Amino acid sequence: MGVVLLLVGMAVPASAHAQLESTSPAQSSVSSVPPTQVVLHFGEPVEIDFGSLRVLGPNGQRVDNGGTHHPAGDSHTVAIPLPANLPRGTYVVAWRVISADSHPVHGAFVFSVGTASGASKANAVANALANQSGSAVVGNRRPSVVRSRWASIKATTSFLGGRAPPRRRSLLHRHSSDEKSPGS
């Protein structure tokens, strides 16, 4: 028993997985030529699901052509095609993937075509998307993230009246009554 407690006490937090290593176009870059696709490269294989990579234009509308995929079958890389001749302005790329250890990981960044006009608004959108619930990096233990998660838990608990969801309560209640000995 003492050995088990010692081993549990020695457990370390999960290391960061599925970290974004590079992007094309580069984060915060300004290019005179519109890109034909957005490509993200991660430090480990990632799974993608429908809508896991989106590109929002200067007007806030989605501009990508859909079709998120692993180019050339490379499970470390995720790409999405863009329409030809994107107009000048700043674009937001929002992404969400599943790391090899099954944790969802997400983030967002901006790039500009021709000029960085609207960059401050686009950066605010990217920051809001990157800071949505979930891990931007698995194992993230920054105080701001921990506070955010606790606030979310507290708000959910308050919304539920400080109680567990009804189904869970009934399961717990049923379980405790099942354990009673006959005749009690």
Whether 45 and 94 map to the same domain: the answer is yes
Name the band, by pLDDT with cuts 50, 70 and 90, for residue 115.
Answer: confident
Whether 68 and 148 map to the same domain: the answer is no
Task: Let me know if residue 107 belongs to a domain.
Answer: yes
pLDDT score of 154: 52
Task: Let me know if residue 64 belongs to a domain.
Answer: yes
Number of Cα atoms under 13 Å in the Cβ half of residue 63:
23
Whether 35 and 119 map to the same domain: the answer is yes
Helix or strand or coil: residue 87?
coil
Task: Let me know if residue 165 belongs to a domain.
Answer: yes
Whether 109 and 148 map to the same domain: the answer is no
* Residue range 58-101, pLDDT digits in tens: 998 999 989 999 999 999 999 999 999 899 999 999 999 998 88
Whether 55 and 108 map to the same domain: the answer is yes
Residue 135 DSSP symbol? B
Is residue 87 within 8 Å of residue 113, measured between CB atoms?
Answer: yes
Whether 61 and 116 map to the same domain: the answer is yes
pLDDT score of 127: 76
Task: Let me know if residue 83 belongs to a domain.
Answer: yes
Whether 102 and 57 map to the same domain: the answer is yes
Per DSSP, the residues of 18-60 read S-EEEEESPTT-EESS--SEEEEEESS-EE--TT-EEEE-TTS
Whether 100 and 161 map to the same domain: the answer is no
Whether 35 and 108 map to the same domain: the answer is yes
CATH code for the domain of 98:
2.60.40.1220
Task: Let me know if residue 3 belongs to a domain.
Answer: no
**Sign for the pseudo-dihedral over CA of 50, 54, 59, 65:** negative
Mean pLDDT of the chain: 73
Q: Is 78 exposed, middle or buried (0-12, 13-18, 19+ CB in 10 A)?
A: buried
Residue found under tokens 């302005």 = 89
Whether 151 and 87 map to the same domain: the answer is no
What is the domain range of residue 42? 20-130
Into how many domains does the chain fold? 2
Residue type, 140: N
* Residue range 122-166, pLDDT digits in tens: 777 777 777 765 544 433 444 444 455 445 555 554 544 555 444
pLDDT score of 71: 96
